[in-house]
Structure 1
Amino acid sequence: MDSLTDLYQEINERQQKPKTGSYTAYLFEKGLDKILKKVGEESTEVVIAAKNQDNAELVAESADLLYHLLVLFVQQGVSLAEIEEELVRRQGLVSQTKERRTIDDL
């Protein structure tokens, strides 16, 4: 696999032509709630890995999160091009942010 685009295409193909025993096909079979649950779980695991300063775990969990996000995008009919266009649109813009509490303050 050369890129996220390749993985996205593979996931899209798996949605169109489910393969018996495939985890991706399983996620699509279970539907949006299962996919969202996995995105949430993997997001939390990324945060924990970063907080623990475990870069190997951060890489592994980030890969899991990206995979599940791609499954979500395919499920919802969102293309990678749309995500890229949004990122380009935001590039160089100054956002108006307020100071937010740190995790320690929660």
Structure 2
Amino acid sequence: MSALERLASTIAARQAADPDSSWTAKLLAKGPEKCAEKFGEEAIEAVIEAVKGDKARLTSEAADVVYHLLVMCAARGVTLAEIEAELARREGTSGLSEKAARQP
């Protein structure tokens, strides 16, 4: 099991945990909107570090983004397996072609 799979599994397990005992459970208890807000904050921090060019800080912020992305998705019932399936579906497709095929 990869670190990403273990993280997704931990997040899923925390959905039923006491919010007083787990940061993830606390985030999830606040609802999908709060989870999305936290994801957005972390994404902005990652962008700032990417612009600054500090590799170590960007790596740390990117890890935060991945964590908060998975929490946000869990709050809406989207699993890592579903995300992986979508990525697999897109494999071998030009990004330009895939974007052009999307409905407006």
Tell me which residue corresponds to 1:78.
78
What is the distance in 2 between the residues matched to 1:47 and 1:8? 23
TM-score w.r.t. the length of structure 2 is 0.84
Offset of 1:89 from its aligned partner?
Answer: 1.1
What do the CA deviations read for 1:35-69 (whole angstroms, capped 9, x no partner)? 11111011111111111001111011011111111
Offset of 1:2 from its aligned partner?
Answer: 4.6
User: What SS class does the counterpart of residue 27 from structure 2 fall into?
Assistant: helix
Matched, 1:89 2:80: no
Matched, 1:63 2:63: yes
Which ranges in structure 2 are unaligned for 5 or more consecutive residues? none
User: What SS class does the counterpart of residue 20 from structure 2 fall into?
Assistant: coil
Tell me which residue corresponds to 1:28.
28
What is the distance in 1 between the residues matched to 2:19 and 2:30? 14
Specify the code of the residue in structure 1 equivalent to 2:76: Q
Which ranges in structure 1 are unaligned for 5 or more consecutive residues? 99-106
Offset of 1:18 from its aligned partner?
Answer: 2.6
What is the distance in 2 between the residues matched to 1:91 and 1:10? 27
Offset of 1:92 from its aligned partner?
Answer: 1.2
- Structure 1 or 2, whichever has the larger Rg, is 1
Change in Cα spacing, 1:3 to 1:12, as seen in structure 2 (3 Å) is same
Identity value in percent: 45
Give the aligned length. 98
Specify the code of the residue in structure 2 equivalent to 1:36: A
